[in-house]
């Protein structure tokens, strides 16, 4: 479970304070699918980075599965992040010179798993994202949608319970974006907690919960208006 209490975050921009997050109180249950929306500069990515232990609050409390994170050392935060959280981003962040297989394998190598363990887990997630036949291709040989699915495979290969997605369809055409969102929905149905930042209102309404931020403040926390099967979308390619 994710618990944030009275979280504040302020940056200094040109000598003036920018209040990125203000008095954020938020509880996210296991296996929720939460969309985070709001205008540019509203604090969406800052909130995601805070939850992902990439940033620290100036004030407030953040508990992740009951662990108080504010006073943890950077090493402890990194270890907790590796255990609990996977990330995907709009820009994919794949290593161009590595194959799809090697990109996915990186977190397992850092965790010092054996070659046999790495092979088993990489092939499992490649199958899960529907790209087992593309394992030896490099990012430049893949479409945008395929690159994002490889990025998702890399994010989930350590089997984290939480997946954070920052504008995961922002660089994709509609059909490729639909493939990626359907994959995120399947992962959520399998028990993974999914938090997605998006500007797309159609995608936001497919989540089980929609959070709206304005000027670093939560202005709405609501259930979706529409169910997934009520929203028309293109056929998956």
| Domain edges within the chain | 2-93+162-230
Question: Token pair of 89, please?
Answer: 């981003």
Q: What is the mean pLDDT of residues 170-197?
A: 95
Mention every residue, 6+ apart, whose C-beta is less than 8 A from residue 114.
Answer: none
Three-state DSSP at 221 gives: strand
What pLDDT, on the 0 to 100 scale, is given for residue 225?
52
- DSSP assignments along 121-188, one per residue: HHHHHHHHTT-GGGTT--GGGS-HHHHHHHHHHHHHTT--SEEEEESTTTTS-HHHHHHHHHHHHHHH
d(CA 191, CA 30): 8
pLDDT at 15 over 90: no
Confidence of residue 223 (pLDDT cuts 50, 70, 90): confident
pLDDT in tens, 201-219: 889 999 999 999 999 999 9
Asked whether the beta carbons of 22 and 215 are under 8 A apart, the reply is yes
- What token pair was written down for 2? 């994710």
Report the CATH number of the 2-93+162-230 domain. 3.40.50.300
What is the pLDDT at residue 182?
95
Which has more pLDDT, 66 or 226?
Answer: 66
Under the banding of pLDDT at 50, 70 and 90, the label for residue 14 is: confident
Each residue's pLDDT tens digit, 144-161: 999 999 999 999 999 999
pTM score above 0.75: yes
Residue 224: predicted pLDDT: 66
Q: What angle do CA 27, 157, 206 make, to 5 degrees?
A: 45
Q: Is the pLDDT of residue 233 over 60?
A: no
| Predicted pLDDT of residue 137 | 97
Displacement of CA 196 from its chain's centroid (Å): 6
């Amino acid at each position: 479970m994710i618990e944030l209490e009275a979280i504040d975050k302020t940056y200094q921009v040109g000598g003036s304070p920018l209040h990125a997050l203000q008095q954020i109180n938020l509880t996210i249950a296991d296996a929720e699918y939460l969309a985070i929306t709001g205008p540019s500069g509203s604090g969406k990515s800052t909130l995601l980075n805070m939850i992902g232990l990439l940033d620290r609050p100036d004030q407030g409390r953040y508990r992740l599965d009951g662990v108080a994170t504010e006073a943890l050392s950077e090493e402890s935060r990194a270890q907790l992040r590796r255990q609990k959280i996977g990330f995907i981003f709009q820009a994919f962040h794949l290593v161009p010179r590595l194959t799809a297989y090697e990109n996915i394998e990186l977190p397992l190598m850092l965790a010092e798993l054996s070659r046999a363990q790495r092979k088993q887990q990489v092939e499992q997630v490649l199958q899960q994202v529907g790209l087992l036949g593309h394992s030896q291709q490099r990012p430049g040989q893949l479409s945008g949608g395929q690159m994002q699915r490889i990025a998702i495979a890399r994010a989930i290969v350590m089997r984290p319970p939480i997946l954070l997605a920052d504008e995961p369809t922002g660089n994709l055409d509609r059909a490729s974006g639909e493939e990626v969102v359907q994959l995120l929905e399947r992962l959520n149905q399998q028990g993974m907690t999914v938090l997605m930042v998006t500007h797309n209102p159609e995608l936001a309404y497919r989540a089980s919960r929609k959070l709206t931020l304005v000027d670093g403040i939560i202005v709405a926390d609501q259930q979706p208006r529409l169910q997934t099967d009520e929203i028309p979308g293109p056929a998956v390619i």
